[in-house]
Amino acid sequence: MKWIDRNNLPEELKNLPDSSFESLHQEDIKDEKFQTKPVGFFRDAMIRLSKSKVSMISVSCIVLIIILALLVPNITGYSFTEQNLGNKNLPPKIQGLEKLGIADGTRVLENRKKDALSDPDRYPEGSVLEILREFDSKGVAMVDVKVDYYKYVGAEDNRYHWFGTDYLGRDLLTRLFQGTRISLMIAFFSVLTNCFIGVIYGAISGYYGGKVDMILTHVAEVLDGMPYIVVTILFMILFGSGMVSIVLALTITGWIGTSRLIRSQFYRFKGREYVLAARTLGVPDLTLIFRHILPNCVGPLITRVMIAIPGAIFSESFLAYLGLGIKAPNPSIGVLLADGQKVLLQYPYQTLFPAVLISLLMIAFNLFSNGLRDALDPTKRGEE
């Protein structure tokens, strides 16, 4: 009865009880009512994402690392700058695990004079655990000896360094997660600035098109032609080391990819009818760009951001290896790796933990961004 104007119904017809109606349909209606709420694009994507086990595992891995990075430096009881030259290069020692023989703070000292073993100044009471090999070198009795290194250097009994200490006696567990914090921050900020510049540049270039687009694209192309590493290193030398300069150096050429993506999305959407309609209604350019066209780019943009984060973490460690990393007392994963590399063969644990962490972080981010891309753009699923 659509053609009756509801507003002009006589008063007595407006509030009729249900009982005065009778269904024309004799049988039961087999249709089910929609129980669910309507699902929007992002909700749909999130549902798809949460169904992928790999994505869920990697995202929980990322979250776990972030939580650890926020928590651990505050609860270890050591500060990441606290030096203790008496306790340098201590091996890992963990409560509980030490009884199993893993991470028990022992170390094998090779080619020691046997006579010195009984000297309590050099080998304090109880520090010698086991003599592994006795041999004779030019008439002097030598031994390889396994010692409790913590007792050997005279550290207090209740001192535990889960990941050991570095060449200045700083607790590596604290430094590792403080470093993770800094690395993640660098990655986050550099990606954020990249996005910001890229979105604006790409939006202007894509929306206005024509000459503006031509000039902007050429500028970006020339910048992009410069080898990324060279530009980054040159800028790092110019700015000096430090967090801000790393973020800036990573931004110099990093935004170009984002701007390209946004530009192509704008080219796709700016000719659509709904944009034309909005323009006809007198919507100004800025509103068109940000309110009407840009939301279409959010999906690919998120994917790109997730792919860019491991890239930024990688670049940061790369710069640290070249001595252009973060300033001295501050750690970052790259700085720790580079420091550990110098003593790799003597103290492999100093490289092991940062290496495992950066690998985990990179793998998790890569898997998660794959999953995210599949979720946001199901047509590309499985293409890798």
Partner 1 sequence: MKYVLQRIGAMLLTLFLVMTLSFMVIRLMPMSLFENPEVPKEIQEKLEDKFHLNDPLPLQYYYFMEGIVTDLDFGISVKLRPGLEVFDIIVTRLPPTMLINFLSLFISIPLGLIFGTIAALKRNTVVDHVISVFVILFISIPSFVFASLLQYLFTFVWPLFPTLYESTAVTVGQMMHSLVLPIVALSLGPIATLTRYLRGELIENISSEYLLLARTKGLTKTQSIVRHAFRNSMMPITNTLVSLITGIMGGSLVVENMFAVPGTGGLLTKSIFAGDHFLTVAILIFYSAISLVTILVVDLCYGLIDPRVRVGGGK
**Interaction site with partner 1 (CB under 8 A):** 221-222, 225-231, 233-235, 237-238, 310, 314, 317-318, 321-324, 337, 340-341, 344-345, 348, 351, 355, 358-359, 362-363, 365-367, 382-384
Output 255 or 365, the one with its CB closest to partner 1.
Answer: 365
Amino acid of residue 327: K
Q: Identify whether the C-beta of residue 113 lies closer than 8 Å to the C-beta of residue 140.
A: yes
CA atoms of 36 and 88, how far apart (whole Å): 62
Q: Minimal distance in Å, beta carbon 136 to partner 1?
A: 24
Tell me how far, at minimum, the Cβ of 240 lies from partner 1, in Å: 9
153 vs 110: CA distance, rounded Å: 16
Nearest to partner 1 of 302, 358 (CB atom): 358
CB 296 within 8 A of CB 179: no
Residue 294 vs 307, nearer CB to partner 1 = 307
Cα 339 to Cα 148, 342, 378: the distances in Å are: 24, 6, 43
* CB-CB contact of 199 with 258 (8 Å): yes
Give me the sign of the Cα torsion angle 319, 322, 328, 332.
Answer: positive
Least separation in angstroms between CB 59 and partner 1: 15
User: Which is closer to partner 1, CB of 203 or CB of 364?
Assistant: 364
Report yes or no: 176 and 92 within 8 Å, Cβ to Cβ. Answer: no
**Residues 337/235, Cβ–Cβ less than 8 Å:** no
Q: How far is the CB of 258 from partner 1 (least distance, A)?
A: 16
Nearer to partner 1, 59 or 367 (CB): 367
CB of 184 to partner 1, least distance (A): 16
Quick one: 127 or 351, whose CB is closer to partner 1? 351
Partners of 200 in the β-ladder: none
Residue 207 near residue 292 (C-beta atoms within 8 A): no
The distance of closest approach from Cβ of residue 243 to partner 1 in the complex, given in angstroms and rounded to an integer, is 18
